[in-house]
Amino acid sequence: MTLYDNISKNTIASILLIAFFIAFIIAIGFVVSLLFDFGLVGVIFAVIFAVIISLVGYFSSDKIVLGLTGAVEVKKPEFAFLINTVEGLSIASGLPLPKIYVIKSAAMNAFATGRNPKSSSIAVTTGLLEKLDRQELEGVIGHEMSHIKNFDIRLMTLVAVFVGIIAILSDFAFRSLWFGGSRDSDSKGNGILMVLGIILIILAPIIATLIKLALSRKREFLADADSALITRNPEGLAKALEKIGNDKVELKGASNGTAHLFISNPFKQKGFLVNLFSTHPPIEARVKALRQM
């Protein structure tokens, strides 16, 4: 698969994600409208709300994610080492220089975000800067540059925002269903609406999880491989991933909605089920792939 194939695939996935999100909000609005007899007005409101949130998500999702994670844009005198590294790899990869952010945390992690390469940003934790040497840091930055180049950033950032909103709206639907259910039980269609509402509430977190898993672990393997090509040093990223994998500090600014953005799962739980539902492949598998290059 070529670079252009990846970009095209991510563009289509982003469009489908936005369409699904709009449909999901309209479905919630429809159920709530019928429960409270809002009628067509409630559905129209849901459509308008869905479109507005989708536009905000598309144009401002990167700012939302950066704000949620506590990332702060850096200045050169204080973080010259980081800025010089990003500048060098930006030139090597042929990409515009992304904005550079730092998250004050002892945890070791990093992520990229933005709509496209021209509006991209890279954020790294202070723990990562303190514990990695130059070659290891280049490997991590190269990985994030790959996500920018392939337009992974747009899709991954939209997912982060939409999954969070779906969680909020499903909770709202539950509360509406609870109070709506207190109406006359003989109301026309009330029993059917109760069933539809319960199904919607149950499916919402499952759907959100499936959306994140649909991002595919292959994206991380591809970004690792691209990093090795950009830096000409797969061992640098391999060593960085080993250090990140052995790090025991969880990133407090991360959430279930943003975890898939990071180079490594920001939560340190381990086990079969954790690996099964993780958006990241095991560190050991990634290191092995890099050392076989």
Q: Looking at 144, 220, 235, 284, which residue is catalytic?
A: 144
Q: How many angstroms separate the CA atoms of 228 and 221, rounded?
A: 11
Given a contact cutoff of 8 angstroms between Cβ atoms, the answer to whether 169 and 28 are in contact is yes
Is 144 among the residues known to form the active site?
yes
Question: What residues are annotated to the active site?
Answer: 144
